[in-house]
Each structure stands twice: as C-alpha cells, then as structure tokens.
C-alpha cells in the first residue's frame, strides 16, 4: 500500500512539496513539482520557492507549527531560472511538523485571462470606432432587436424622427409616408422608396436581418438604414422635364425642314419666286437645330466635367438682336 501511495504521489498531476520536520527545507518534490519548478527544489528553503508562504509562517510566530491551518491561495512560484510562475497553493501542517504544499500551475489560465482581456479590449475599441463612424454618417442608421426595440440609433436617425424613439413602430409613425410603404422587419432584406413624413422629402429605406449561423430567429437583430433621396428624386424629375422640353425644341425645326423639303420636291407646289424664301426657312431651322445639338454636346461635356471654359469677347448687341429676332 505504501508503495502505491509513493507511486501516486510521484506521478500525480499536482506539484507536491514536503518539508523537513520542524524545518522549512524542502525534503521531497514529486515529478510534477520538478517540472513546474524546471529543476529539483529538494534541499532548498521553502522561502526561496514560495516566499509568500514563508513570510506568512514567520508572521504567525514561533507557534506556527500549531497555529497554521489548511489554506488555499494564489501566489507566484519562483522557478529555478529566477522567473516567476502563477500558482494556486494548498498548504497544511501534517504529522511530525512537516508542511505539505500542493501547487497547481495557473500559467495557462492566467494567459487565457490576459488573452480574453486583450480580445475584450480590442472588441470594445472596434465597437467604439464603428459607433464613431456610424455617428458621423449622413444616413440614419438604426439597429433593432427581434422585438422591434431600438438598440442603436445615430444622430441622423434622431433628427429624422425628431427626437428619441424606442421602437420600429415609432419610427414608422414618425416618417409615415404619403407615398410608398415602409418595409417590414420580418420580411428583410427589403428596400423601399417613400415620400412624406415629417417633411416633404424622399427617403430610401433598407432593412436587413443580422444573425449568426445557427442563431434562432428570436435572437436576430435588424439593421435599418434611411437615406435622404430627395436630391436624386429632384434630379430625376428635372431630367424628365428637360427631356420633354428638348423633344419639343427638336420637333419644331425638324418639322419645318421636313415640310419645306417635301414642298420643294412636289412639282409646282412652290412658285419659283417663293423657293428662295422656303430655302431660307430651311436654312434658319437647320442652323437652329445645329445650335441645339451643339448645346447638348456642351452640356454632356459639362456633366462629365471635361468641359474647358475659355473667356472670349462677345458682341452683346449682336446677341441681343439675335435673341429678339428669335422671339
């Protein structure tokens, strides 16, 4: 039996130290202790290996052999190479005035804690950076949980609503459109263009569900982005009006040229003395058509920002006369 106990003590996973009776010199150290210590601590004073334990025993005075009770503490173990390793130590006074010290290496646990703290710190930093970016965005950005309660909203979102809000329903009520329909959270991803609400403006609303793989629907979040599309809508309306005016302006000279050309082709339709006037009309309308096309080309180059504008003298009297004649 004693042999089994000896073998169990030597091969056990915990580091075990036993001191000399009535002394604090290490008498025995098992394999786990030698591995943890990175050497053999046998014969060394316990104070060299676990100075905190030695100081506590000294503080208890001469009667320490009787007063010391079982205790478990976290402290540092000084290794053979002079470095320190965190350990959890269980100490008890045993028969014969010996100290039984059992130590568990906490290096991996402490490193894992440090790693977790670093990851948490980095995660908080990234979250702060992301929040700062979201706060500076012109678009209204909101995050809702599965129940529709708001968990994040930037300044643009609060301006859109006209203050703070707590639910998606309150958002819908605040920007309730006169045209279009707000998308539903549960049908995401969805996109809608709406008009109305607190101001006579156009908005593009996007809803997207955010979830991790394997996550149940009740744990989902919903990202809602509202973009002010008023400028784009006004530009589209202006473009449509411009195309209508352009079609009218092009139709007039084309109709004149086409009609007069057909008159000239018809035998006897135009008297010889009137042909000069008809040809003059064709020339005037052709020149008008040419100027319209040139203006369109200039406008196209301006929109593509490749138009070079050079100053040159202008005869205002000629411009005004031509304008008056055109009217």
Does some domain include residue 112? no
Average pLDDT value for residue range 153-168: 87
Number of domains in the chain: 3
Average pLDDT value for residue range 286-300: 80
Does some domain include residue 20? yes
Q: Is the pLDDT of residue 178 over 70?
A: no
pLDDT at 70: 52
Percentage above 70 pLDDT, the chain: 81
Going from the C-alpha of 197 to that of each of 21, 175, 277, the distances in angstroms are 87, 4, 60
Q: Is the pLDDT of residue 68 over 50?
A: no
Does some domain include residue 198? yes
Give the pLDDT confidence of 180-217 residue by residue, as tens digits: 778 888 776 788 887 765 567 788 888 888 876 666 66
Q: Which long-range contacts (CB under 8 A, 24 or more apart) does 208-211 make?
A: 209/185, 210/143
Answer whether 0.75 is exceeded by the pTM: no
Residues 219 and 286 reside in one and the same domain:
no
Give the pLDDT confidence of 121-143 residue by residue, as tens digits: 998 898 888 888 888 888 999 99
Residues 166 and 253 reside in one and the same domain:
no
Per-residue burial over 284-305, b = 16 or more CB atoms within 10 Å of its CB, e = otherwise: ebeebbeeeeeeeeeeeeeeee
Q: Is the pLDDT of residue 316 over 70?
A: yes
Q: Is the pLDDT of residue 102 over 60?
A: yes
Say if residue 189 is preceded by a cis peptide, omega within 30 of 0: yes
**Can you give the CATH number for the domain in which 36 is found?**
3.30.450.20
Residues 214 and 267 reside in one and the same domain:
no
Residues 237 and 209 reside in one and the same domain:
no
Residues 200 and 272 reside in one and the same domain:
no
Give the pLDDT band (50/70/90) at residue 64. Answer: very low
pLDDT at 313: 81
Residues 203 and 237 reside in one and the same domain:
no
**Can you give the CATH number for the domain in which 240 is found?**
1.10.287.130
Q: Is the pLDDT of residue 3 over 60?
A: no
Q: Which domain holds residue 299?
A: 233-326
Residues 201 and 245 reside in one and the same domain:
no
Q: Is the pLDDT of residue 2 over 50?
A: no
Does some domain include residue 131? no
CA distance 210 to 189: 10
**Structural contact between residues 151 and 221, judged by C-beta atoms closer than 8 angstroms:** yes
pLDDT at 66: 40
The mean pLDDT of the chain is 78
Element (H, E) at 86: strand 84-94
Does some domain include residue 153? yes
Residues 265 and 213 reside in one and the same domain:
no
Examine the fold and report which residue of 228, 245, 280 is the final residue of a domain before the chain moves on: 228
Average pLDDT value for residue range 291-306: 75
**Structural contact between residues 147 and 166, judged by C-beta atoms closer than 8 angstroms:** no
Examine the fold and report which residue of 228, 253, 285 is the final residue of a domain before the chain moves on: 228
Give the pLDDT confidence of 225-269 residue by residue, as tens digits: 988 888 888 888 887 887 787 787 778 888 888 887 877 777 666
């Amino acid at each position: 039996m004693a042999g089994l106990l000896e073998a169990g003590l030597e091969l056990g996973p915990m580091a075990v130290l036993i001191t000399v009776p009535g002394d604090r010199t290490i008498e025995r150290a098992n394999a786990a202790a030698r591995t943890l210590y990175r050497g053999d601590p046998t014969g060394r004073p316990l104070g060299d290996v676990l100075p905190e334990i030695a100081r506590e025993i000294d503080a208890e005075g001469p009667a320490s052999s009787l007063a010391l009770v079982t205790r478990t503490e976290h402290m540092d173990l000084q290794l053979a190479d002079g470095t320190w390793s965190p350990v959890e130590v269980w100490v008890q006074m045993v028969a014969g005035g010996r100290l039984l010290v059992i130590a568990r290496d906490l290096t991996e646990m402490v490193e894992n804690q440090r790693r977790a703290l670093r990851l948490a710190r980095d995660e908080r930093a990234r979250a702060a950076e992301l929040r700062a970016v979201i706060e500076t965005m012109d678009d209204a950005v909101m995050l809702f949980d599965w129940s529709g309660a708001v968990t994040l909203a930037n300044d643009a979102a609060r301006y859109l609503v006209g203050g703070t809000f707590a639910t998606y329903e309150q958002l819908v009520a605040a920007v309730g459109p006169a045209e279009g329909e707000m998308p539903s959270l549960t049908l995401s991803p969805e996109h809608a263009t709406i008009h109305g609400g607190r101001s006579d403006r156009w908005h593009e609303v996007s809803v997207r569900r955010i979830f991790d793989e394997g996550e149940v629907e009740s744990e989902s979040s919903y990202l809602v982005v509202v973009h002010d599309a008023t400028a784009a809508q006004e530009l589209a309306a202006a473009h449509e009006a411009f195309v209508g005016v352009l079609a009218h302006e092009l139709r007039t000279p084309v109709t004149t040229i086409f009609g007069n050309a057909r008159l000239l082709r018809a035998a006897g339709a135009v008297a010889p003395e009137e042909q000069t006037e008809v040809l003059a009309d064709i020339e005037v309308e052709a020149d008008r058509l040419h100027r319209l096309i040139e203006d369109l080309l200039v406008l196209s180059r301006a929109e593509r920002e490749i138009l070079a504008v050079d100053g040159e003298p202008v005869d205002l009297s000629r411009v005004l006369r031509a304008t008056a004649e055109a009217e």
